[in-house]
Structure 1
């Protein structure tokens, strides 16, 4: 595959009709092959042959999926093919319980590779490019997805993973790597180490950077920082274990295009759980249109997005996620009535710090309302060699741009934990966290 897929530029009405046709066929298939949905729909008296009331169906949640694994181990009741037809299993991180398996058939893997190839092509990658995959391969789903897709496109693929920092840097220069993919935190870590070694990555052959796995690519200040350090265009990619991939940015960099021939998307109010108009934030709810192994219907992603259906300069007609994923519905902080996402804090921090400083948001009981339990201010820890004016400047910027009071703590460089996988930006305070070097109310 080395060209634009026809369906990416179909007129809106043709795309909508195609999506609904796929949805009807998928619902009929799921009704006959998924034990979970067959039982649920029978109890509801819902007939998939008449899906006009599709949005009346319950949402499917992670908790539902995990309970099904206990009912029918090891694959669960969502598995819709015989076990011997599974070609691949990937797992969740298991940080909140037992790792959750999700299966793929050979047809699912082929579909997965095609979608990743489309993403790479839309960002300017072509056959002959050298792609170094810097996503992890140990259980993390993104690494093998990138490897499959860029191979399908015709690139030379180096499956580097997210370790061996100095070897990764040497490989980039030695083999003329022109495209990379990884988490923003690992790519910034590589850039910092490369500068320390006197080999700034802006001097490499890399011209295409796709990031995913955590916020960053859609955070303007973080994107600008990655582009400056790598001397390359940075594109945001979005997916999750259950849906791979969901959306990706094209060369226009105006929000990830939803793969609307792969997923049926709804955006709903996180509290009322009713549809919101395009242009308004809500939680993304997804339904597979052709997944075979573990098809999901009305999957509650928990990710807050804004749907944009205005024309894109690239000519693709699939809806975009304006501003990428704004945050997790369950990670949103309410500070004196103001909704604040960690990605918004990151944008301010990156611009004020002006370098590769690490930071995190600390949930401190001392800054909570004793009645409601909600934060009355943000506490932000940031690394800096010296305090100087940074605490006051950052506190003022957070108040001006996010309309919240901020307590800023400066800690010595290297004190905050690093990660080569997904950065953890929000933590709870411990006794040691309360010992700070500088505080600005």
Structure 2
């Protein structure tokens, strides 16, 4: 990415985006002042709250929209789980770019024209399904837009039509694997060779990746994107961290508190700026995702920076347990390795295990499915203390008692929801 490209995009944004033109004019800042990449730090970050205020003040599309409404070819929405669904727009050129980036990423994982790709991401009100369909079609694969439902039919389709590549959330792919075993059709017998996962951190969790690869008999790759930036980073065949699409977005990594840049190799929040988006260009978008940049040359020969270890967690999901920062993805890694199998688990925020003065947890409470408790609670608690330096209270619950999902797994819940949880296994 060159300074010239970034400067050209910022000039276009200043001309077309009412939000940024107003903001920058009030700051007395003009894109002509961008002489080095560091000069971008003169601008404030853009947050989800900023975007939502824009929608409230200028409904229905907000004043981030930088093209006439007639040029909007596609609108996708957030899940709407924490408020009104948030629309993000694409022009036809934006959609072509999106497809090209997905196709490039899939090719780097070994997918080729003629492969049969079954898209297991959701389609209804979700960005993942159509994104996958666009990209693999562009690559030249035969695409089956299956979606994230009809489990038995998905399994039958995998075998009947010779699916060689799939994409979906780790939760749904593990759910399919468990059901396939019940049907006597283990997915290791299917022709699938490439598994791309996204929507959850599981693909970057070593133990979860190993579990998926074992259950599917295929190589598993982590893919990372968000509604506002599609895609952000995908792993190549080396599986050594997602390659940032640095010709599509300029990346910064900032301290979550001070919002100052952190050195490469140190964790911080990923902040992104579009380099050629037309419909809803964003500048210094605060993703909220904790990452670590690795700028060493990958074994595949590509030189784009990579996200070492994928997305470590979200800044707002991080748990602080007696001064130790703990991400749900780190807990997942320990649980998968210690418990094994396809059992579900979740972290419960229990007020009984919180410091009364600060409200911060003093220990984690985990619910884990297993046929019997045995020594599992002690063994898992010991592993969590050894690897994450936190105390844990482990409750073993009956297999199948925790909720399943075909979308994104909810790994952290609050204790009031636990009134209806199935009893422990004796």
User: What range is the shorter-chain TM-score in?
Assistant: over 0.9
Partner residue, 1:428 = 414
Select the residue among 79, 84, 92 that pairs with 1:98: 84
- Bigger CA drift: 425-434 or 373-382? 425-434
The Cα of 1:19 is off from its aligned counterpart by: 3.2
**Where do 1:397-408 residues align within 5 Å?**
397-408=383-394
Q: Deviations along 1:324-365, whole A, 9 cap, x unmatched?
A: 000000000000000000000000000111100000000000
Partner residue, 2:248 = 262
Partner residue, 2:398 = 412
Distance 1:165 1:414 in 2: 16
- The secondary structure found in structure 1 opposite 2:213 is helix
Partner residue, 1:197 = 183
The Cα of 1:437 is off from its aligned counterpart by: 2.6
- The secondary structure found in structure 1 opposite 2:202 is coil
Query: 1:268–1:282: 8 Å Cα contact kept in structure 2?
Result: yes
Partner residue, 1:353 = 339
Q: Deviations along 1:182-215, whole A, 9 cap, x unmatched?
A: 0000000000000000000011100000000011
Query: 1:19–1:260: 8 Å Cα contact kept in structure 2?
Result: no
- The secondary structure found in structure 1 opposite 2:2 is helix
Query: 1:360–1:426: 8 Å Cα contact kept in structure 2?
Result: yes
Partner residue, 1:137 = 123
Q: Deviations along 1:354-382, whole A, 9 cap, x unmatched?
A: 10000000000000001111100000101
Q: Deviations along 1:25-51, whole A, 9 cap, x unmatched?
A: 100000000000000000000011121
Distance 1:344 1:433 in 2: 27
Select the residue among 14, 22, 27 that pairs with 2:10: 27
Q: Deviations along 1:363-407, whole A, 9 cap, x unmatched?
A: 000000011111000001011111111111101100100000000
- The secondary structure found in structure 2 opposite 1:265 is strand
CA 1:232–1:50 in structure 2 vs 1: closer, same or farther (change >3 Å)? same
Query: 1:92–1:139: 8 Å Cα contact kept in structure 2?
Result: yes
Partner residue, 1:7 = none
The Cα of 1:438 is off from its aligned counterpart by: 7.1
- The secondary structure found in structure 1 opposite 2:105 is helix
Matched, 1:171 2:157: yes
Distance 2:7 2:84 in 1: 34
The Cα of 1:149 is off from its aligned counterpart by: 0.5
- The secondary structure found in structure 2 opposite 1:216 is helix
**Where do 1:181-330 residues align within 5 Å?**
181-330=167-316
Partner residue, 2:29 = 46
Distance 2:353 2:11 in 1: 52
Distance 1:73 1:49 in 2: 31
Distance 2:423 2:323 in 1: 27
Matched, 1:37 2:20: yes
Aligned-residue CA RMSD (Å): 1.1
CA 1:330–1:165 in structure 2 vs 1: closer, same or farther (change >3 Å)? same
Matched, 1:340 2:331: no
Partner residue, 1:9 = none
Distance 1:358 1:232 in 2: 22
- The secondary structure found in structure 1 opposite 2:51 is helix
Query: 2:195–2:221: 8 Å Cα contact kept in structure 1?
Result: yes
Distance 1:51 1:436 in 2: 61
Unaligned runs of 5+ in 2: none
Q: Deviations along 1:294-319, whole A, 9 cap, x unmatched?
A: 00000000000000001101011100
- The secondary structure found in structure 2 opposite 1:176 is coil
- The secondary structure found in structure 2 opposite 1:191 is helix
The Cα of 1:115 is off from its aligned counterpart by: 0.3
Partner residue, 2:376 = 390
Distance 1:266 1:436 in 2: 46
Provide the TM-score with structure 2 as the length reference.
0.98
Partner residue, 1:15 = none
The Cα of 1:434 is off from its aligned counterpart by: 8.5
Q: Deviations along 1:155-201, whole A, 9 cap, x unmatched?
A: 00000000000000000000110000000000000000000000000
